[in-house]
Amino acid sequence: MTTPAPQITVLDGFTLNPGDLSWESLQALGECAIYDRTEPHQVVERAATATVVLTNKVVLTGELIAALPQLESIGVLATGYNVVDLEAASQRGILVTNVPAYSTASVAQMVFAHILNFTQRVSEHHRAVAAGRWAASADFCFWDVPLVELAGKTMGIVGLGQTGRAVAKLADALGMRVLAATRSARELPAYVTRRELDPLFQESDVISLHCPLTPATEKLVNRHRLGLMKKTALLINTSRGAVIDEVALAEALSAGALAGAGLDVLSVEPPPANHPLIGAPNCVLTPHIAWATREARVRLLETVVENIAAFLAGRPQNVVNEGC
């Protein structure tokens, strides 16, 4: 007897694949319905017969999960899986999978894109040259702000998982002293020194956040810790926006309490037009794209397909609700 092909519904595939990748490997696994975006009220209709649902940011609440009687597996098109009610899925025996570590190199690269943006001001100086200022200069060179060498400076990393370690490795390669605040018992690389949070904020010239968002880390970067930072220090966040008290950061930047903030994430995405950090002095925002290199998205899609194939073969992998 032939096993029926799985019904696979992709609720919000556009950010993973805006058109430059192929869905063929996924479509080879079963009958696929692929939507660029799905509003909450559309989930039940679109996934009514699905055995596998894939979501990136569409929230699957317990109520929605209960309304999908054919559902057997939920695949999150990301590493974080807080968009799924794990308890509700587990009660139904529905496996939930994610895609770990696909974007480690890309996120680490974005960290240093933000850092180097502040230390070298490449785009600003290019615009000055394009405006004719170099041609009109009395000297062979000019600069508008002090340029900063990273060698010898201190990098503080909050959270030393895979991405934090990748950032630490790059910082070491640039000659930086590396401190890390981490609860992991894993042995640290030889070039990394463990620090508690407050001393790390006091000593660091650059602080890069790589901790998950939990009740313990929400607004971890608060007025107290911003007050510990050097006025010349930079704050970089590629983890989750809510680990920073954004109002406190906007106030600190306006007061000149730190040199700058480079943020790829905010607590609400997309943010409201009146978000306190939009337009804040020395605050550079990118729209949650650290993960989104083509290379990382290829790895993401490949692992999603592997997760589904493993599930169908009875050997599930990357399961985040073990024992369901």
| Active-site amino acid positions | 240, 269, 288
Q: Does residue 206 contact residue 234 with C-beta atoms inside 8 Å?
A: yes
> Which residues have a Cβ under 8 Å from the Cβ of 69 and sit 6 or more positions away?
none
| Cα distances (angstroms) measured from residue 256 to each of 137, 146, 227, 324 | 30, 16, 11, 50
Q: Does residue 147 contact residue 294 with C-beta atoms inside 8 Å?
A: no
Q: Does residue 264 contact residue 286 with C-beta atoms inside 8 Å?
A: yes
Amino acid letter, 9:
T
Say whether 154 sits in a helix, a strand or coil.
strand
DSSP string, 171-219: HHHTT-EEEEE----SPPPTTEEE--HHHHHHH-SEEEE-----TTTTT
Nearest to 153 by CA among 118, 203, 111, 227: 203
What is the rounded CA–CA span in Å between residue 8 and residue 79? 20
Q: Which residue has the tokens 């704050």?
A: 235
Q: Does residue 76 contact residue 95 with C-beta atoms inside 8 Å?
A: no
